[in-house]
Amino acid sequence: MSTGTVDGSSEPAVEVTAAAAEEALELMDREGMDLEVGGLRLFVQQGGCAGLSYGMRFDTEPEEDDTVTVHHGLRVFVDPASLNYIGGSKLEYEDGLQAAGFHVENPNVVSECGCGESFRT
């Protein structure tokens, strides 16, 4: 398990806003997860019309090679392959009239599909 930075810099591997952390922690609590050990896994998978898409799920503990960071009390797990695509990204949560949900602001993206669900780096 590595520290929560990219390339040994002081920049976090993934930044998480307070709103996103609060929402994730609330969902984890409702599921009865241990907030001291468990966390939110953020990953990239093949799929979508642009080639790659984001995935999120709750995990009971990190894998040995995960980068683990803590944001506003939320532990975030990112595997090495996914970190290549999302390092330096920000996870946000929006709760508005049009839509509610998590959104990844990724500086590595060169193009996204029209619906914003998939991307290419």
Q: Report how far apart, in Å, the C-alpha atoms of 74 and of each of 8, 14, 59, 120 are.
A: 21, 12, 12, 27
Q: What is the pLDDT of residues 21-33, one digit of tens each?
A: 999 999 999 999 9
More confident residue, 39 or 1: 39
Mean local confidence (pLDDT), 73-94: 92
For residue 49, the model assigns a pLDDT of 62
Break the chain into its structural domains and give their ranges: 14-120
> Using 50, 70 and 90 to split pLDDT, how confident is the model at 119?
very low
For residue 7, the model assigns a pLDDT of 45
**CATH no. for 14-120:** 2.60.300.12
Q: Is the pLDDT of residue 47 over 90?
A: no
Cα distance from N-terminal residue to C-terminal residue, the chain: 25
Q: What is the pLDDT of residues 8-18, one digit of tens each?
A: 444 568 899 99
Residue closest to 91 by CA, chosen among 38, 33, 44: 44
The one-letter amino acid at 105 = E
More confident residue, 95 or 72: 72
